[in-house]
Amino acid sequence: MKRVAGLAAIGMLAALGSAALAQQRAYSPGPHNIELPADWQQRFIRYTTVDRPDRKIIRNMYVNPEAFAALTAGQPLPYGTLAIMADQRARVDAQGNVLLDGNGRLIPEPAFIAIAAQQKERGWGEGYGPELRNGEWEYAVFNPQTGAWVDRPLNACFTCHLQARAQQDYSFTTWDYANRAR
């Protein structure tokens, strides 16, 4: 009995091992690696918002709670970081000028109009050339209504984050949040 259980356990370990290998081999660069979790709006932490009057939008920056808890100043962002940038349109007057609230901030319209994401996982990034590769990060854009991937070119995501933020783990506000004086 014991030996059968032992053999079964060995079989299971072997199966798990090859599944893990298959998964590793299955990595191919691209936005399909990032999934928008169904419950992200409930679960993720909105750590900052950025007003962009130039574009008449408000950008809400979210990160998954596991990564949020592990953010450390001066350190690369943790594996498993999923940063989500959800844009809202800013309210405008009849002339199309942005309106401000009592604190001088833009006033968001309720709906999200665009969702962009960047995620870092061990082993990702393999296959991108040096002009594009952002360490172990991938990028994706999602339809804010359906949560499905938006099929669009993403090279600009890589080049801009690479050129501006290679020394900050390719991150803008998540890095700044982790490194601000707290």
Q: Which is nearer to ligand HEC, 107 or 168 (CB)?
A: 168
| CA 2 – CA 140 distance, rounded (Å) | 49
| CA 118 – CA 88 distance, rounded (Å) | 18
Q: Are 126 and 150 in contact (CB under 8 A)?
A: no
Total number of residues binding ligand HEC (CB under 6 A)?
20
| CA 160 – CA 69 distance, rounded (Å) | 27
Of 34, 59, 106, 138, the one binding ligand HEC (CB under 6 A) is 59
Query: What part of residues 75-134 is at the interface with ligand HEC (CB under 6 A)?
Result: 83, 85, 116-118
Tell me the Cα Rg of the chain. Answer: 20
Instruction: In angstroms, give the least distance from the CB of 28 to ligand HEC.
Output: 18
Residues in Cβ contact with 52 at an 8 Å cutoff, skipping those fewer than 6 apart: 58, 59, 106
Q: Which is nearer to ligand HEC, 90 or 117 (CB)?
A: 117
Does the footprint of ligand HEC cover residue 67 (CB under 6 A)?
A: no
| CA 45 – CA 16 distance, rounded (Å) | 33
Stretch that binds ligand HEC, among 16-24, 67-75, 120-128, 156-164 (CB under 6 A): 156-164
Instruction: In angstroms, give the least distance from the CB of 156 to ligand HEC.
Output: 4
Does the footprint of ligand HEC cover residue 171 (CB under 6 A)?
A: yes
Q: Are 59 and 50 in contact (CB under 8 A)?
A: yes
Q: Are 61 and 174 in contact (CB under 8 A)?
A: yes
Does the footprint of ligand HEC cover residue 61 (CB under 6 A)?
A: yes
Does the footprint of ligand HEC cover residue 143 (CB under 6 A)?
A: no
Instruction: In angstroms, give the least distance from the CB of 31 to ligand HEC.
Output: 8
Q: Which is nearer to ligand HEC, 85 or 90 (CB)?
A: 85
